[in-house]
Copies of this chain bind each other. A is one copy, B any other.
Amino acid sequence: MEIDEILERFHPLPAGSREALKARISEAEYPKGHTLIRSGRVEKTLYFIRSGIVRAYSDADRGDVTFWFGKEGDVVISMKSYVSGQPGYEHVETLEACDLYQMKALDLESLFASDIHIANWGRKLIGQELIKTEERLISMQFKTAQQRYLDLLSSTPDLLHRVPLCHIASYLGITQVSLSRIRAEIR
């Protein structure tokens, strides 16, 4: 997915503002298994995914728990770092070789301070992430694991071919064994 298309996903931008953003964006490739964001740090870079897939996870007693998948067109930010300037709680690693657009958080910050269109674009971007997170939270409270699995199957079927089931299970808030049971039941 090309950068113009990605930037327009969140909110329309006047050509001048879009060019100002693009002037700060560079490209980078990373292999599978590369860690883009590490917890406990204030992250200084953010990414847009041109191609590939990544996961965000945090450490827990029972190993790491995946709470987000990002794919083509998505933004990769340590939200905590980005919003509050405090060390984040998440790791983000590539699950495939990835082509990314990258940008310094400080560059974006200074564009926010000087360009009102970019400030509003950033507001919309965060807003859309918020809706997605809220909808996931609600689905965790409302729905059974089986329903959540079926939802995932219909909304992003490709995820199941591209990501190991252990990460899918943890994303659904269940164990690998439970997921296996659900899959057997449906078959």
Interface residues on chain A, number (Cβ under 8 Å):
38
CA distance A83 to B173 in the complex (A): 27
CA distance A34 to B113 in the complex (A): 39
State how many copies of this chain the complex holds.
2
Residues of chain B within 8 A of A140, CB atoms compared: 137, 140-141, 173
Whether the Cβ atoms of A65 and B138 lie closer than 8 Å is yes
Residue A60 interfacial (CB < 8 Å):
yes
Residue A9 interfacial (CB < 8 Å):
no
Whether the Cβ atoms of B58 and A142 lie closer than 8 Å is yes
Residues of chain B within 8 A of A133, CB atoms compared: 130, 133-134, 137
Residues of chain B within 8 A of A135, CB atoms compared: 89
Residues of chain B within 8 A of A141, CB atoms compared: 65, 67, 140, 170-171, 173
Interface residues of A in 26-64 (CB under 8 A from B): 58, 60
Of the candidate stretches A12-20, A98-106, A115-123, A157-165, the one touching chain B is A115-123
Interface residues of A in 88-115 (CB under 8 A from B): 89, 112-115
Task: State how many angstroms separate the Cβ of A105 from the closest Cβ of chain B.
Answer: 13
CA distance A82 to B133 in the complex (A): 15
Residues of chain B within 8 A of A142, CB atoms compared: 58, 60, 65
Residue A186 interfacial (CB < 8 Å):
no
CB-contact partner of A137 in B84, B136, B170, under 8 A:
B136
Nearest B residue (CB) for A142? B60
24 A-B interface contacts by CB (under 8 A): A58-B138, A67-B134, A67-B137, A67-B138, A79-B127, A79-B130, A79-B131, A80-B131, A83-B130, A84-B127, A84-B131, A89-B138, A112-B123, A114-B116, A116-B119, A119-B123, A122-B123, A123-B123, A123-B126, A130-B130, A133-B137, A137-B137, A140-B173, A141-B171
